[in-house]
Structure 1
């Protein structure tokens, strides 16, 4: 089922639905592929489908949880390293673990969205004061951007195209 952004909904409800729509597309893009297909590097930089899911889970936890002073729980990469480890799938990481991490991140971030008002502020990793509204817009943009990358990688993997599951 495709998440629909309400045509006349409130601002927070609409922003959250827009984020969920792209989150759902991310998961749809990895559905039905085997471990080798999900891990296969398809660009010179080594980008792969599963690595983008891992990255998005970490980005959500950073922006929604850390920004607003909440714990992230364990992360499958070193947050202080600037080495791309949030995009890299290590040999010991299973597909199930990465997908569970993304689901946990999504649920934990949904808690923050539910608890805060759009004008509530936190401090980002850069030290800037940002509102929940800004974070929702930023993460929707970030998720949509990477869903587009996933779309291209999926087409390169098995020829499948489309932006959402139509069933």
Structure 2
């Protein structure tokens, strides 16, 4: 795996800086888990009991970024990059014919747009209404940290099974 170039979150930052920097750290962790692998390795179902792949995780978090930040928080009329379900699972996890470059481009673009949407809110306590629920920016940032942290655990196991690389 490439050298770790992630920016570690400050131990004394305010709430907003803490949440946004922890989210960026988790994003960078997923990128680190994928670094240096071939397209075939990124598409590899490396755990016999699971259909997960590193590329599927990248495509999934791109969809989640778009959904929470653009569709829900920014009230944009956006479609998911990989819509629908196949065999009961989200299409983004079906990567056999997926374009690796496209997936990483979409993910990076969604992360950049998510940062812009988050920074457009004055406060973590600012809210939007979505389907009858009130949702704060604080909730979305916290949820996204949880989303990435969970999937980065999956990425740890996948990367180790693919090429033996371990580490945070």
Decide: shared fold, TM above 0.5.
yes
3-state SS of paired residue (2:109): helix
Cα distance in 1 between the residues matched to 2:33 and 2:27:
10
2:8 aligned with 1:16, yes or no?
no
Offset at residue 127 of structure 1 (A) = 4.2
Cα distance in 1 between the residues matched to 2:153 and 2:44:
17
Q: Relative to structure 1, is the Cα distance of residues 72 and 90 closer, same or farther in structure 2, using a 3 angstrom cutoff?
A: farther
2:117 aligned with 1:112, yes or no?
yes
User: Which stretches in structure 2 are left out of the alignment for 5+ residues?
Assistant: none
Offset at residue 79 of structure 1 (A) = 5.2
Cα distance in 2 between the residues matched to 1:69 and 1:96:
26
Contact 2:124–2:136 (CA under 8 A) maintained in structure 1: yes
Contact 1:61–1:72 (CA under 8 A) maintained in structure 2: no
By relative contact order (CA 8 Å, sep 6+), the higher-ranking structure is: 1
User: Which stretches in structure 1 are left out of the alignment for 5+ residues?
Assistant: none
Aligned length: 161
Q: CA RMSD in A?
A: 1.9
Cα distance in 1 between the residues matched to 2:132 and 2:94:
26
Q: TM-score, normalised by structure 1?
A: 0.88
Cα distance in 2 between the residues matched to 1:70 and 1:96:
28
Structure 1 residue aligned with 2:95: 89
Moved over 2 A (4+): 42-45, 69-76, 79-83
Cα distance in 1 between the residues matched to 2:76 and 2:34:
28
